[in-house]
Every structure is written in structure tokens, then in C-alpha cells.
Amino acid sequence: MLWLAVLLGVLIGVIGFGAIYQTLATRRDRHRFLPPGKLIEIEGSHWHYQIVGDGSPTVIVDSGAGGPHLDWQLVQPEVAKFTRVLTYDRAGYGWSDLSSEPRTAEQVVSELRQLLQKAEIEPPYVLVGMSLSGLFSRFFAYHYPEEVAGMVLVDVAHERMYEETPVEWVELNKRLEGLLTHVVPMMGRTGLLRLLVTFDALPLAAGLSQKFPPSMRPLAKALYSQTQFGITFAQESAAVSVSMNQAEQARQTKSFPDIPLLVLSAGKPNFDITQEVLEKLQELHADLASESSQGIHIVAHESGHAIQLDEPELVIDAIRQVVEKVRYGNTP
């Protein structure tokens, strides 16, 4: 009993020290890394967005789960050479405030439209969605087709993904979602997430940060280590199934606009993606391309899931193609 009490005391002490360290380190990062874009207040919350370039249509870029706007820093400067492009941090990521609202497709799209209106970014837009945010981009287009002129989808989630992929993979992903919902926020609050990210001991974060230029890696690690990052990542993980259902319902009841649409698929397995799962996901992406008569499906054979970091030139070219079709039709 004495040893148990000692161990419990040590554990409480370690957790307490970790929580204090996390608070101080997060505060330090906030002073060390200032927002590169603008902060705008919407209903009492601050949102961070960055606009570069000139021209029309404006490209609106959204990241995957856990992704701040930093994920597009290899793409954004090149797109800015031929049109205006906006990247932003969804609520709880980067320099945007946390939200208590469920992180569903419906909620995210509502918040994005408020940001665009408050920042006076007029439609029509070319939407670019990656991974989870592909559900958000398509939900936007179903409900506000008059505001969407074109779209690029980058290895996105599909609303029937869990129905048409191997059961073993689906069960693994759902277990991971449950684990992330409960464990990641605790890791964030106690500094464990920061420790793992700092020493590249978290495979996903390490894999992403290594794709950035060396000068950007300290900032990437700081953003992944934030307390609010762990909370938001868990919120989005908990809402994945709801977002899928919302996208499915919109697809069944509304028409997708007949717009230039390019859908990119990863060509290399990575993490828990086997070749069998990869090929099924590619089939689902081809299905998304068929939603528009102008849809094109492309497989990025040398890229894993994060195509915008593995082969950014493919994403840049896809955006350029869609922008030119919007401007000039099929004969730029």
C-alpha cells in the first residue's frame, strides 16, 4: 500500500509538472510565432486567415483533420502567381480560437461562409479540400452551388468510405477515432503530445513535419503541440461519422453543380493504408469525379496521402487547370 501511494504521488506530480510546462510552452510559442495572416473576430471568436495573390476566381483552401493552414505553404505561393488564394485555420487550429460547437461538415461550412463574408471575399470560389475537408467542400457546393465555380479534391474522405472498404480497416479506424477522442486531449493538456512531437516520436506528426522545409519545421511542431490542437483533433475525430452522414444526405437530396472538378488520389500506401484499401479509395474518388460532367480523376503515383506536401506541383497544376477553365472555358 505504501509503494502504491508513492507511485500515485509520483504520477500526480509528473502530470502536474507536465500541465504547467505545457501552459508555459504554449504561451512561449504564441509570442515566438506570430500569425502570418490576419485575425478577424466573428461572434466573439478570433479566426486566422491569409490572402495572397490577385485575380479571380478566389481559391479557398481547407486542410485535413489536424491540419493548420501551414499544410499549404508549398502550394499557396505558387497559386498566388496566377490568382488570389485564401488559406485559413479552422476553429481550434493554428491561431484560430477553439469552438464549443461540434466539428461537423455543416458547422464548418457555416463558419467558413461567415469568415468569407466578414473578410469581404466575394464568390464565386474555387474550393480546394484535402482529406476530411473534402466532405466540407462538397457540402458547401451542394448547399451553395451559385457560390462555387470549381473544385479540387486532394485524396479526400468519401461518405461511403466505411461501407465499401475492408471491414478490418474500418474497425481499426473507428477504434482509432474513439482513442483519439479521449486520449489526445489529455496528452495535449499534460505536455505528452508536445514531448512526442518535439522528439519526432509521434509517427504522423513526424512524417508531416519532415515534409516541410527545415526553416518551417519549428513552427509546424509548435502548432501540433498546442493544447487546443489536441482538443480540436479529438472534436473532429468524434464528428467524422456525422460529417459523412451529412454529405451523404446532401448528395441524395441536392444536385452537385456542373463545374470544373479535379480529384486527386494518393498512389502509394502509407500508415494503415494497404494496397487493397488504396485501390478501393481510388475507386471512390473516381465516383466523386463523376458528379460533374467536367470531372477528372488523377492518381498521384509517387505520393502518399499528403499530396500537397509529397508532390505539390500536382496540386498547383490541378488548381491552375480549374482556375483557367473557370476564367476561359475549356479553351484557355
What is the Cα–Cα distance from 52 to 73, expressed in whole angstroms? 11
**Residue 15 maps to a domain:** no
pLDDT at 81 over 50: yes
Provide the pLDDT for residue 22: 81
Residue 203 has pLDDT above 70, yes or no: no
Per-residue confidence (pLDDT) for residue 12, from 0 to 100: 63
Q: Amino acid letter at 35?
A: P
Give the CATH number of the domain where residue 274 resides. Answer: 3.40.50.1820
Q: Is residue 97, in this structure, part of any structural domain at all?
A: yes
Give the pLDDT band of residue 145 (cuts 50, 70, 90): very high
Residue 125 lies in a domain: yes
- Please tell me which residue, 7 or 278, carries the higher pLDDT value: 278
Residue 143 has pLDDT above 80, yes or no: yes
In this prediction, residue 213 carries a pLDDT of 83
**CA-CA distance, 332 to 321, in Å (whole number)?**
9
Residue 278 sits in which domain range?
33-328
Listed in sequence order, the residues at least 6 apart from 97 whose beta carbon sits closer than 8 Å to its beta carbon are 45, 46, 47, 91, 228
7 part of a folded domain? no
Query: Mean pLDDT in the chain?
Result: 89
Determine the pLDDT at residue 9. 61
pLDDT at 11 over 60: no
pLDDT digits (tens, 9 = 90+) for 264-290: 999 998 766 788 899 999 999 999 999
Q: Please tell me which residue, 73 or 273, carries the higher pLDDT value.
A: 73
As a whole number of angstroms, the distance between CA 150 and CA 128 comes to 9
User: What's the number of domains the chain is made of?
Assistant: 1
Q: Kindly state whether residue 3 falls inside one of the protein's structural domains.
A: no
38-42 and 45-52 strand pairing: antiparallel
Cα–Cα distance, 33 to 89 (Å, whole number): 15
Whether residue 161 lies inside any domain: the answer is yes
Walk across the sheet containing 85-88 and list its strands: 38-42, 45-52, 85-88, 58-62, 125-130, 148-154, 261-266, 295-300
Q: Is residue 16 part of a domain?
A: no
- Whether pTM > 0.85 for this model: the answer is yes
Question: How far, in whole angstroms, is CA 230 from its chain's centroid?
Answer: 14
Q: Are 160 and 248 in contact (CB under 8 A)?
A: yes
Per the document, the length of the chain is 332
**Contact (CB, 8 A) for 96 and 48:** yes
Average pLDDT over residues 84-90: 97
- Residue 312, pLDDT above cutoff 50: yes
Averaged over 310-330, what is the pLDDT? 94
Q: Is the pLDDT of residue 95 over 60?
A: yes
Q: Are 289 and 263 in contact (CB under 8 A)?
A: yes
Other CB atoms within 10 A of residue 252 CB: 9
Q: Is residue 150 part of a domain?
A: yes
pLDDT tens for residues 245-256?
A: 999 999 999 999
**pLDDT, average across residues 5-32:** 73
